[in-house]
């Protein structure tokens, strides 16, 4: 008896006409186009976030390699050989060495110094520009996604007003669909914009930290070249490996022998 009642209630339950799919179908081409554009923006934002994060981590690991072993080398060329071929820090060293070979052709010592400084600055700027690529897209998404969602909201409200005008009354069944569509578009716009803004600020802060490290390394390279290898940053000596302590039994055995 109970099963028959539940089955009858299930068959008599009204179908939901105000879901996400139904809202898109009511919105038509504009609703679908808005969702597709926001989806592309969201996918692009997360793609840039993860690719840039891995690229930044790679350069940070290269910085640790430089601090641990680069300045222990006898020369810049030897130290560059210890770095990876695609290392951002090796690019600065290679550009500095190339500028050193070319500055001998300049008769004015001041011009030679400016040439070295400018070459290292250009190398540093090229690395920073590569790290900053993609960030304008995140900024654009964060600034425009809410307005794209708002466009869908305006269209939904407009359709609700048309339904009210046709029906002659603001009954809930006439305006629930268009108003629901409008709210969904607003939520989607915010859902796309907020992660993009957070990702932009996060990656920008890490880029500034990397730029500071590259600038300091570039200054050290310039000082080393101008001083003919005399000036080097202070490198902490590697901790000595502790020898295993001799036990009392082992010592007494050695004495008996």
In this prediction, residues 4-28 reach a mean pLDDT of 54
Residue 7 lies in a domain: no
Residue of higher predicted confidence among 78 and 173? 78
Note whether residue 13 is domain-resident: no
Residue 117 placed within a domain: yes
Most confident of 76-80, 193-197, 213-217, 247-251: 193-197
Answer whether residue 3 is part of any domain: no
Please name the residue that has the structure tokens 């339904």: 163
Q: What are 74-133's pLDDT values in tens digits? A: 888 888 888 888 888 888 888 888 887 777 676 666 566 778 888 888 989 999 999 999
Residue 237 has pLDDT above 80, yes or no: no
* Pairwise pLDDT comparison (256 vs 17), residue with the higher score: 17
* Least confident interval from 89-98, 197-206, 244-253: 244-253
Distance between CA atoms of 95 and 199, rounded to whole angstroms? 32
Average pLDDT of the chain is: 77
> Does a structural domain hold residue 119?
yes
CA–CA dist 250, 104 (Å, integer): 64
CA distances (Å), 190 to each of 6, 64, 70, 74, 204, in order? 41, 38, 47, 56, 21
Structural domain boundaries enclosing 112: 20-227
Structural domain includes residue 241 = no
Q: What is the pLDDT of residue 155?
A: 78
Quick check: is 254 in a domain?
no
For residue 14, what are the CA distances in angstroms to 9, 11, 170, 176, 206?
Answer: 10, 8, 21, 15, 53
pLDDT at 153: 80
Number of domains comprising the chain:
1
Contact 174, 167 (CB under 8 A): yes
> What's the pLDDT band for 200 if we cut at 50, 70, 90?
very high
Instruction: Choose among 119, 58, 68, 51: nearest CA to 91.
Output: 119
> Over 50: is that where the pLDDT of 183 sits?
yes
Q: Please, which contacts does 30-36 make with residues 24 or more away whose CB atoms are closer than 8 Å?
A: 30/152, 30/155, 31/152, 31/155, 31/156, 31/181, 31/185, 34/148, 34/149, 34/151, 34/152, 34/185, 34/188, 35/152, 35/188
* Gap between the Cα atoms of 83 and 73, Å rounded: 11
Q: What is the pTM assigned to this prediction? A: 0.74
Cβ atoms of residues 232 and 71 within 8 Å: yes
Looking at residue 244, its pLDDT comes to 52
Lowest mean pLDDT among 41-50, 122-131, 221-230: 221-230
Q: Is residue 163 part of a domain?
A: yes
Helices (H), the chain: 2-12, 20-27, 29-69, 76-81, 88-103, 109-132, 135-167, 172-226, 248-256
- 73 pLDDT band, cuts 50/70/90, is confident
């Amino acid at each position: 008896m109970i099963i028959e009642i539940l089955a009858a209630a299930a068959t008599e339950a009204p179908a939901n006409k105000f879901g996400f799919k139904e809202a898109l179908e009511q919105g038509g081409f504009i609703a679908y186009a808005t969702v597709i554009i926001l989806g592309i923006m969201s996918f692009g934002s997360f793609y840039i976030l993860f690719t840039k994060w891995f690229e930044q981590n790679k350069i940070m690991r290269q910085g640790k390699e430089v601090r641990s072993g680069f300045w222990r080398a006898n020369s810049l060329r030897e130290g560059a050989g210890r770095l990876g071929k695609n290392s951002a820090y090796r690019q600065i060293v290679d550009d500095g060495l190339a500028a050193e070979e070319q500055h001998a052709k300049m008769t004015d010592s001041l011009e030679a110094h400016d040439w070295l400084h400018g070459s290292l600055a250009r190398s540093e700027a090229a690395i920073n520009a590569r790290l900053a690529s993609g960030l304008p897209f995140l900024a654009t998404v964060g600034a425009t996604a809410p307005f794209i969602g708002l466009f869908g909201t305006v269209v939904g409200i407009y359709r609700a007003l048309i339904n009210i005008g046709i029906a002659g009354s603001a009954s809930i069944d006439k305006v629930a669909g268009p108003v629901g569509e409008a709210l969904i578009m607003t939520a989607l716009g915010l859902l796309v914009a907020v992660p993009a803004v957070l990702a932009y600020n996060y990656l920008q802060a890490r880029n500034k930290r990397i730029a500071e490290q590259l600038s300091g390394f570039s200054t050290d390279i310039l000082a080393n070249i101008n001083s003919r290898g005399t000036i080097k940053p202070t490198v902490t000596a590697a901790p000595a490996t502790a020898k295993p302590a001799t036990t009392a039994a082992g010592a007494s055995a050695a004495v008996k022998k």
